[in-house]
Structures are given as C-alpha cells and as structure tokens.
Structure 1
Amino acid sequence: MTQHSPSLGERASRVRLLALDVDGVLTDGAVHYHSDGGETKVFDTQDGLGLRLALEHGIDIALITGRDSPMVARRASELGIAHLLQGRNDKHRALTELASRLGITLDECAYCGDDLPDLGAIQAAGLGLSVANAPEYVRVHADYVTERRGGQGAVRELCELLLEARGAWAGIVAGYRLPRQAAP
C-alpha cells in the first residue's frame, strides 16, 4: 500500500459507513443489453472480497445507485450488504438519510462516486472518494482518487485503505499466509 497523508489516514480511520455508487465504481460503467430485454453487468471478485473484509471488520457498506437493477440486488445479497438504495439520483440526500437512520454523522461516512450525480455526496462525506476513470471535474472534489478504474479493483483499493487506517490490514494479510517452515 502507498503512504497517505496523516489527515487522510485519520479521516479514513473514522469511517463507519462506506457508501458506493454502482455503475462506474463497482462496475466499469458498461451496461450490455440483450435482445431478450435482459442486461449484463460485470463485478470484480477482488472488490467483492474487499467489501466482505470491510464488513467483517466493522465497516458498514451501502450501495446507492440511480438505476434499479436485479443484478445489483443479487450482488448486494451475495456480499451481505444490507443497505441497498436503488433509483436514488440524489446521492447526497440518500447518503444523508441513510447516515441519519444509522445514527452516524456524515463525517463518519465515506462515499465513492464517478460522475455528476455523485458530486454532492462526495463533497458531504467525511471522506470523499472517486475512481481513476471519473471525469476530472469530479475527481478534483475527492479527498482520494483510486489508482484503479471502477469495476477493475478500485473498490478493493478503497477497502484496503480503510482497513489499513484501522490497523487491521496487516493482520488480515497475515491470516491468509501459511506459517513459515523452519529450515531443515
């Protein structure tokens, strides 16, 4: 992991809720329509593991999207994400309402988005986040912009950032390693 400014790490350590836009953040933003009326979205499995690890370490997750998609509902269910707000174009209002319902402040929220509907939420959150593929006029308002593109590990990068700020990441990695064998 790269080193970040103390203020970024301090703000990241206070995050209790990571809220994410879906199209362009959790996916690459492409929607493939099929002749039978269905559609396809692609989700990154490394992002999924990052979200599960964040949940296991006390960071609540929310998906806030302007679209209404059964695939997003399925992915949220598979990952154990309880807060799914679909059909919400005013992401700032959705984030504010969710934070209030959860009894937390916006300062304890991180929000990641990639386009204009996300701008208010990025600015209002205690930790405003964006992805590498967002337009410059969105990225300039974020406290942190991922190196990875949406749908290609950007969410995993954010989860690692938050877990590292909590001091949990090294232990998580160590938990997956095999014990070192003594030399014969």
Structure 2
Amino acid sequence: MKVLRQILKPQKAAVDWDKIKLLAFDCDGVLTRGGIIYGNEGQELKDFDARDGLGFMMLRSTDIQTAVITGRTSEAVARRCADLKIDHVYQKIPYKLKLAEELLQKLGLGFENMLFMGDDWNDFPLMMAVAVSVCPADAADGIPHLVDYVTHAKGGQGAVRECIEMVLKNKGIYEQAIQAYLARIS
C-alpha cells in the first residue's frame, strides 16, 4: 500500500492549515457506522453520533464550510445534514472527485483548501486529490495506510468530531470555536 500511495500521491509538503476552508465527509462509515437499517415500511434508518453533530456546531463560528458527499440517497441523511446546517449536501454521487472539482470551482477554492474524510475505495480518488485526507479507525483494509490522518475513533462513533477538533487545533482556533459555541447556547 505504501508503494501505491507513493505512486498516486507522492510525499507532500506540510499542510498550511490556514488554507483549509472546506471540510467534506462521506456519510456511510464516516458519519454513521456504515450499517443500513430498513424499517417495516421500507424507510432507511441511520445511526448518527451526537458528538459529531456538536463538532459541526463548533464550526459555525469559523470561516470553514462543510460538505457531505455520499454515494447513496437517504432522507435520513438529508434531515441530519439540515439539522446540522451542513453547507453543501450531495447524495447519489458515484464520482466524488468530479463533484468536488465542481464545488471547489463554485466556491473559488482549490484542492489545497479541502480536507476530505472517507472510509472506502470509492472515496480514494478524492482522498488523494485533497490537501488533507482522513479516515476513521475502522476504514476499509488498505485505506488507513494511504491517508494523511487516521482517527482513533471509528466511523459513526466520534471520528468526525475528532477530525473537526484536529482541524480547529491546527488552525489555532479550537478554544475560540468552543467559546463561540458556548456563547450561543448560554
């Protein structure tokens, strides 16, 4: 896998965290544990982690935009993203890299401004294009060896929150984000 990474994404310079303006996430296996549950009426149910949600709320006081780019379509995902006020939500996207290019162009940004967190091979092309690639601890075999950062938490169990906190800390705005969040809820 290390040879594959060297071929597809050679060693890069240190991340300029001030340039990171867009955090994008896959859904199944990242925002959720990856399981899909169908109710008796055929509705699709998803299990989201509340800690991840609070991480998104901490971002609201920053200039960082958020996106969810997922290969499936689910009303539960749409509702959760609306609840969290995710800036950009794209469902049923088989080619995430192409969509990301279009989104970045629309925002006047480049891949050097983007972090993407995915967990499987369908996320791999986008992971190799962005400034910072992240995966949860339980990502598909091989993926953890190819990304820039592997969370300690598993997908759907605080991995997104860990990723968000890592970004805020590296940008030097973690405490500021917490204070702004606390001010909003006080």
Q: Is the 8 A contact 1:12 1:127 kept in 2?
A: no
Residue aligning to 1:56: 61
Q: Is the 8 A contact 2:26 2:117 kept in 1?
A: yes
Q: In the alignment, is residue 30 of structure 1 matched against residue 40 of structure 2? A: no
Residue aligning to 1:154: 159
Q: Give the superposition deviation at 1:76.
A: 0.9
Q: Give the superposition deviation at 1:69.
A: 0.8
TM-score, normalisation: structure 1: 0.86
Q: Is the 8 A contact 1:13 1:162 kept in 2?
A: no
- 3-state SS of paired residue (2:165): helix
| Over 6 Å off, 4+ runs | none
Q: Give deviations 1:137-178, integer Å, cap 9, x for gaps.
A: 11222111111001000000011011111111133446659x
- 3-state SS of paired residue (2:60): helix
Alignment partners' CA distance in 1, 2:61 and 2:29: 25
**AA at the equivalent of 2:117:** C
Residue from 75, 78, 86 that aligns with 1:81? 86
TM-score, normalisation: structure 2: 0.86
Residue from 66, 70, 78 that aligns with 2:71? 66
The structure that has the greater radius of gyration is 1
Residue from 108, 115, 122 that aligns with 1:117? 122
- Segments of 5+ residues of structure 2 without an aligned counterpart are 1-12
C-alpha RMSD of the superposition: 1.7
Distance 1:27 1:105, change over 3 A: same
Q: Say how many residue pairs are matched.
A: 170
Q: Share of identical aligned residues, percent?
A: 36
Q: In the alignment, is residue 12 of structure 1 matched against residue 17 of structure 2? A: yes
Q: Is the 8 A contact 2:44 2:74 kept in 1?
A: no
Alignment partners' CA distance in 1, 2:109 and 2:169: 21
Q: Give deviations 1:96-141, integer Å, cap 9, x for gaps.
A: 1111111101010000000011000110001111111102311222
- Segments of 5+ residues of structure 1 without an aligned counterpart are 1-6, 178-184
